Amino acid sequence: MKLVTIDIETLNGWPEERRSFLPPEFRTDNFQFNGLNPAVSTPTSVQLSGGDRDNVLIEVGPVHPIPERGDSGLQFITPDRQVREEPIGDLGTVTTVVVSSTAALLDEVKGHLSRFSADGYRLLVGWNSGVFDLPFLAHTHTSTFSEEPAELTLRSREDREPKYERLPSPLLPVSNTGVYAARYRPAGMLAGELRHLDAYVYKAWCATQTVKWSLKPTLEARGYGNPTNIDRTRLHEADAATRRLYAMWDVVGLHRMVTDDWWANNDIFGFEGYIDPTV
Protein backbone atom coordinates (compact mmCIF):
# COMPACT_ATOMS: atom_id res chain seq x y z
CA MET A 1 0.00 0.00 0.00
CA LYS A 2 1.54 3.31 -1.10
CA LEU A 3 0.95 6.02 1.46
CA VAL A 4 1.67 9.72 1.82
CA THR A 5 1.95 11.31 5.25
CA ILE A 6 0.78 14.83 6.05
CA ASP A 7 1.39 17.30 8.86
CA ILE A 8 0.89 21.03 9.27
CA GLU A 9 2.47 23.77 11.34
CA THR A 10 0.36 26.74 12.36
CA LEU A 11 1.05 30.29 13.46
CA ASN A 12 1.51 30.27 17.22
CA GLY A 13 3.27 33.57 17.74
CA TRP A 14 5.24 36.33 16.13
CA PRO A 15 8.86 37.27 16.81
CA GLU A 16 9.00 40.49 18.82
CA GLU A 17 11.42 42.13 16.41
CA ARG A 18 8.86 41.73 13.60
CA ARG A 19 5.74 42.85 15.44
CA SER A 20 5.89 46.28 13.82
CA PHE A 21 5.05 44.63 10.50
CA LEU A 22 1.72 43.32 11.82
CA PRO A 23 -1.60 45.11 11.23
CA PRO A 24 -2.64 47.20 14.28
CA GLU A 25 -5.32 44.74 15.46
CA PHE A 26 -2.62 42.08 15.90
CA ARG A 27 -0.38 44.33 17.96
CA THR A 28 -2.75 44.95 20.86
CA ASP A 29 -1.82 43.58 24.28
CA ASN A 30 -4.96 41.44 24.49
CA PHE A 31 -4.44 39.66 21.14
CA GLN A 32 -2.71 36.30 21.22
CA PHE A 33 -2.08 33.88 18.41
CA ASN A 34 -3.25 30.34 19.16
CA GLY A 35 -2.01 27.66 16.82
CA LEU A 36 -4.86 25.34 17.85
CA ASN A 37 -7.60 27.83 16.93
CA PRO A 38 -8.01 28.58 13.20
CA ALA A 39 -9.86 31.81 14.01
CA VAL A 40 -6.63 33.35 15.35
CA SER A 41 -4.05 31.35 13.42
CA THR A 42 -3.26 30.06 9.95
CA PRO A 43 -1.09 27.31 8.46
CA THR A 44 2.53 28.38 8.07
CA SER A 45 3.62 25.18 6.35
CA VAL A 46 2.36 21.82 5.15
CA GLN A 47 4.67 18.82 5.01
CA LEU A 48 4.16 15.73 2.85
CA SER A 49 6.19 12.53 2.55
CA GLY A 50 5.71 9.79 0.03
CA GLY A 51 8.90 8.06 1.15
CA ASP A 52 12.52 9.03 1.66
CA ARG A 53 12.97 10.20 -1.93
CA ASP A 54 9.77 12.22 -2.20
CA ASN A 55 9.52 14.69 0.65
CA VAL A 56 7.88 18.08 0.20
CA LEU A 57 7.82 21.15 2.44
CA ILE A 58 5.38 23.88 1.41
CA GLU A 59 5.71 27.06 3.42
CA VAL A 60 4.54 30.65 3.41
CA GLY A 61 7.50 32.99 3.39
CA PRO A 62 9.27 35.74 1.53
CA VAL A 63 9.39 35.07 -2.21
CA HIS A 64 12.47 36.97 -3.33
CA PRO A 65 12.65 38.97 -6.55
CA ILE A 66 14.99 37.55 -9.16
CA PRO A 67 16.68 39.29 -12.09
CA GLU A 68 15.42 38.56 -15.57
CA ARG A 69 16.81 39.81 -18.85
CA GLY A 70 14.33 41.82 -20.88
CA ASP A 71 14.57 43.42 -24.34
CA SER A 72 16.34 46.48 -22.95
CA GLY A 73 18.29 45.02 -20.03
CA LEU A 74 17.82 43.38 -16.65
CA GLN A 75 14.73 43.80 -14.48
CA PHE A 76 13.55 42.26 -11.23
CA ILE A 77 10.45 40.09 -11.18
CA THR A 78 8.78 38.44 -8.20
CA PRO A 79 7.65 34.88 -9.01
CA ASP A 80 4.51 33.38 -7.46
CA ARG A 81 6.54 30.55 -5.98
CA GLN A 82 10.11 29.46 -5.55
CA VAL A 83 11.17 25.82 -5.55
CA ARG A 84 14.48 24.42 -4.45
CA GLU A 85 15.91 21.01 -3.65
CA GLU A 86 17.83 21.13 -0.38
CA PRO A 87 19.12 18.76 2.28
CA ILE A 88 17.39 19.10 5.64
CA GLY A 89 19.30 17.58 8.54
CA ASP A 90 19.80 13.86 8.01
CA LEU A 91 16.48 13.47 6.18
CA GLY A 92 17.97 13.66 2.71
CA THR A 93 16.89 16.03 -0.05
CA VAL A 94 13.57 17.82 0.42
CA THR A 95 11.64 19.76 -2.21
CA THR A 96 10.96 23.12 -0.54
CA VAL A 97 8.25 25.27 -2.10
CA VAL A 98 7.98 28.82 -0.81
CA VAL A 99 4.80 30.76 -1.57
CA SER A 100 3.67 34.22 -0.56
CA SER A 101 0.08 33.65 0.63
CA THR A 102 -2.28 31.22 2.34
CA ALA A 103 -4.24 30.81 -0.89
CA ALA A 104 -1.08 29.80 -2.75
CA LEU A 105 -0.18 27.37 0.05
CA LEU A 106 -3.54 25.63 -0.27
CA ASP A 107 -3.23 25.42 -4.05
CA GLU A 108 0.24 23.86 -3.73
CA VAL A 109 -1.09 21.25 -1.31
CA LYS A 110 -3.85 20.34 -3.77
CA GLY A 111 -1.35 20.02 -6.58
CA HIS A 112 1.01 17.73 -4.69
CA LEU A 113 -1.75 15.52 -3.31
CA SER A 114 -3.15 15.17 -6.84
CA ARG A 115 0.33 14.19 -8.05
CA PHE A 116 0.67 11.55 -5.34
CA SER A 117 -2.77 10.20 -6.21
CA ALA A 118 -1.92 10.01 -9.91
CA ASP A 119 1.27 8.13 -9.00
CA GLY A 120 -0.70 5.36 -7.32
CA TYR A 121 -0.73 6.48 -3.70
CA ARG A 122 -3.93 5.43 -1.98
CA LEU A 123 -3.60 6.40 1.70
CA LEU A 124 -3.27 9.81 3.35
CA VAL A 125 -1.82 9.26 6.84
CA GLY A 126 -1.45 11.74 9.68
CA TRP A 127 -1.07 11.85 13.45
CA ASN A 128 -4.41 12.96 14.91
CA SER A 129 -5.04 14.37 11.45
CA GLY A 130 -8.75 13.63 11.71
CA VAL A 131 -8.93 15.94 14.72
CA PHE A 132 -6.53 18.70 13.77
CA ASP A 133 -4.60 18.85 10.48
CA LEU A 134 -7.33 18.09 7.94
CA PRO A 135 -10.14 20.02 9.71
CA PHE A 136 -7.76 22.98 10.13
CA LEU A 137 -6.96 22.94 6.41
CA ALA A 138 -10.65 22.64 5.55
CA HIS A 139 -11.48 25.64 7.77
CA THR A 140 -8.67 27.66 6.22
CA HIS A 141 -9.80 26.81 2.69
CA THR A 142 -13.38 27.85 3.42
CA SER A 143 -12.34 31.10 5.11
CA THR A 144 -9.85 31.91 2.33
CA PHE A 145 -11.91 31.06 -0.76
CA SER A 146 -15.44 31.40 0.72
CA GLU A 147 -16.24 27.84 -0.30
CA GLU A 148 -15.62 24.38 1.09
CA PRO A 149 -12.77 22.41 -0.47
CA ALA A 150 -14.27 20.26 -3.22
CA GLU A 151 -11.43 17.72 -3.01
CA LEU A 152 -11.45 17.13 0.77
CA THR A 153 -14.55 15.53 2.26
CA LEU A 154 -15.03 15.39 6.03
CA ARG A 155 -17.66 13.48 7.99
CA SER A 156 -18.01 13.29 11.75
CA ARG A 157 -16.81 10.12 13.47
CA GLU A 158 -18.78 9.53 16.62
CA ASP A 159 -16.85 6.33 17.46
CA ARG A 160 -13.53 8.01 18.21
CA GLU A 161 -12.30 9.76 21.33
CA PRO A 162 -10.40 12.91 20.38
CA LYS A 163 -7.01 13.75 21.81
CA TYR A 164 -7.69 17.48 21.63
CA GLU A 165 -10.74 19.61 22.09
CA ARG A 166 -12.49 19.99 18.78
CA LEU A 167 -11.51 22.94 16.65
CA PRO A 168 -13.64 25.97 17.48
CA SER A 169 -14.83 26.46 13.91
CA PRO A 170 -18.34 27.18 12.60
CA LEU A 171 -17.08 26.36 9.09
CA LEU A 172 -16.69 22.62 9.68
CA PRO A 173 -19.36 19.90 9.54
CA VAL A 174 -21.20 19.44 12.82
CA SER A 175 -19.49 16.86 15.03
CA ASN A 176 -20.16 15.86 18.63
CA THR A 177 -16.62 14.52 19.00
CA GLY A 178 -14.60 16.83 16.77
CA VAL A 179 -13.15 13.77 15.05
CA TYR A 180 -13.58 13.47 11.28
CA ALA A 181 -13.36 10.72 8.73
CA ALA A 182 -11.77 12.12 5.59
CA ARG A 183 -11.22 11.44 1.91
CA TYR A 184 -9.22 13.36 -0.66
CA ARG A 185 -10.37 13.05 -4.26
CA PRO A 186 -8.47 15.21 -6.77
CA ALA A 187 -10.66 17.41 -8.95
CA GLY A 188 -11.46 15.87 -12.32
CA MET A 189 -10.32 12.37 -11.35
CA LEU A 190 -12.88 9.58 -11.24
CA ALA A 191 -10.40 7.18 -9.65
CA GLY A 192 -7.35 7.54 -7.49
CA GLU A 193 -8.77 8.97 -4.28
CA LEU A 194 -6.70 9.06 -1.11
CA ARG A 195 -8.42 7.39 1.82
CA HIS A 196 -7.49 8.55 5.29
CA LEU A 197 -5.71 6.66 8.05
CA ASP A 198 -5.22 8.43 11.36
CA ALA A 199 -2.29 7.15 13.40
CA TYR A 200 -4.75 7.04 16.28
CA VAL A 201 -4.02 3.35 15.69
CA TYR A 202 -0.98 3.77 18.00
CA LYS A 203 -3.02 4.97 20.98
CA ALA A 204 -3.47 1.53 22.55
CA TRP A 205 0.21 0.65 22.07
CA CYS A 206 1.27 3.90 23.76
CA ALA A 207 -1.00 3.11 26.72
CA THR A 208 0.41 -0.40 27.20
CA GLN A 209 4.00 0.85 26.91
CA THR A 210 3.39 3.94 29.10
CA VAL A 211 4.55 6.16 26.25
CA LYS A 212 3.12 9.65 25.91
CA TRP A 213 0.50 9.61 23.16
CA SER A 214 2.31 12.10 20.94
CA LEU A 215 4.16 11.57 17.71
CA LYS A 216 7.76 12.39 18.66
CA PRO A 217 7.74 10.30 21.89
CA THR A 218 6.20 7.41 19.95
CA LEU A 219 8.83 7.64 17.23
CA GLU A 220 11.56 7.64 19.87
CA ALA A 221 10.03 4.69 21.74
CA ARG A 222 9.83 2.66 18.53
CA GLY A 223 13.46 3.34 17.68
CA TYR A 224 13.24 6.12 15.10
CA GLY A 225 14.89 8.80 17.21
CA ASN A 226 14.18 12.52 17.37
CA PRO A 227 16.59 14.91 15.64
CA THR A 228 14.98 17.98 17.23
CA ASN A 229 14.31 19.04 20.78
CA ILE A 230 12.31 22.24 20.76
CA ASP A 231 9.09 23.46 22.33
CA ARG A 232 6.61 23.84 19.47
CA THR A 233 5.00 26.84 21.16
CA ARG A 234 8.33 28.66 20.63
CA LEU A 235 8.97 27.28 17.18
CA HIS A 236 8.38 30.69 15.60
CA GLU A 237 11.48 31.95 17.43
CA ALA A 238 13.78 29.28 15.97
CA ASP A 239 15.95 29.78 12.90
CA ALA A 240 14.66 28.57 9.53
CA ALA A 241 16.82 25.43 9.43
CA THR A 242 15.55 24.27 12.84
CA ARG A 243 11.93 24.97 11.93
CA ARG A 244 12.22 22.98 8.72
CA LEU A 245 13.90 20.01 10.40
CA TYR A 246 11.26 20.03 13.16
CA ALA A 247 8.44 20.11 10.63
CA MET A 248 9.78 17.56 8.17
CA TRP A 249 10.79 14.97 10.77
CA ASP A 250 7.16 14.44 11.73
CA VAL A 251 6.09 13.30 8.26
CA VAL A 252 9.31 11.46 7.40
CA GLY A 253 9.41 9.64 10.75
CA LEU A 254 5.70 8.83 10.60
CA HIS A 255 6.06 7.48 7.06
CA ARG A 256 8.95 5.22 8.08
CA MET A 257 7.17 3.94 11.19
CA VAL A 258 3.80 3.21 9.55
CA THR A 259 5.43 1.62 6.49
CA ASP A 260 7.65 -0.62 8.61
CA ASP A 261 4.85 -1.59 10.99
CA TRP A 262 2.40 -2.22 8.15
CA TRP A 263 4.61 -5.01 6.83
CA ALA A 264 6.20 -6.28 10.04
CA ASN A 265 3.62 -5.70 12.77
CA ASN A 266 0.22 -5.51 11.11
CA ASP A 267 -0.92 -8.39 13.28
CA ILE A 268 -0.41 -6.08 16.28
CA PHE A 269 -1.83 -2.86 14.89
CA GLY A 270 -4.40 -3.97 12.30
CA PHE A 271 -4.05 -0.87 10.15
CA GLU A 272 -6.81 -1.81 7.69
CA GLY A 273 -9.36 -1.61 10.49
CA TYR A 274 -8.42 2.01 11.17
CA ILE A 275 -8.78 3.32 7.63
CA ASP A 276 -11.73 5.68 7.54
CA PRO A 277 -14.86 4.29 5.91
CA THR A 278 -15.69 5.80 2.53
CA VAL A 279 -17.14 9.28 2.98
Question: pLDDT per residue over 98-114, tens digit each?
Answer: 998 899 999 999 999 99
Bridge partners for 156 per DSSP: 180
Separation CA 174–CA 167 (nearest Å): 11
Taking CA atoms, 42 is separated from 6, 72, 139, in Å, by 16, 42, 10
Domain ranges of the chain: 3-199
- What is the pLDDT, as a whole number, of residue 254? 95
Q: Are strands 194-198 and 123-126 parallel, antiparallel or unpaired?
A: parallel
Neighbour-count burial for 48-75, b at 16+ CB within 10 Å, e otherwise? bbbeeebbbbbbbeebeeeeeeeeeeee
Average pLDDT over residues 240-256: 89
Neighbour-count burial for 1-16, b at 16+ CB within 10 Å, e otherwise? eebbbbbbbbbbeeee
Bridge partners for 108 per DSSP: none
Reported pTM:
0.89
63-97 pLDDT, tens digit each: 777 777 767 677 777 778 889 898 888 888 899 99
User: Residue 135: in which H helix or E strand, if any?
Assistant: helix 133-145
Separation CA 196–CA 190 (nearest Å): 17
- What is the pLDDT, as a whole number, of residue 56? 96
**Please, is 240 exposed, middle or buried when counting C-beta atoms within 10 Å of its C-beta (0-12, 13-18, 19+)?**
exposed
Best-predicted range by mean pLDDT (49-53, 126-130, 173-177): 126-130
Q: How far apart are the first and last CA of the chain?
A: 20
- Give 38 or 47, the one with higher predicted confidence: 47
Separation CA 277–CA 47 (nearest Å): 24
Helices and strands in the chain, H and E counts? 6, 11
Query: Quick one: which of 245, 253, 251, 250 has its CA closest to 86?
Result: 245
254-278 pLDDT, tens digit each: 999 999 999 999 888 899 988 998 7
Phi/psi-derived region of residue 214, left when phi > 0, alpha when psi is between -120 and 50, beta in every other case: beta
Q: Which fold has domain 3-199?
A: Nucleotidyltransferase; domain 5 (3.30.420)
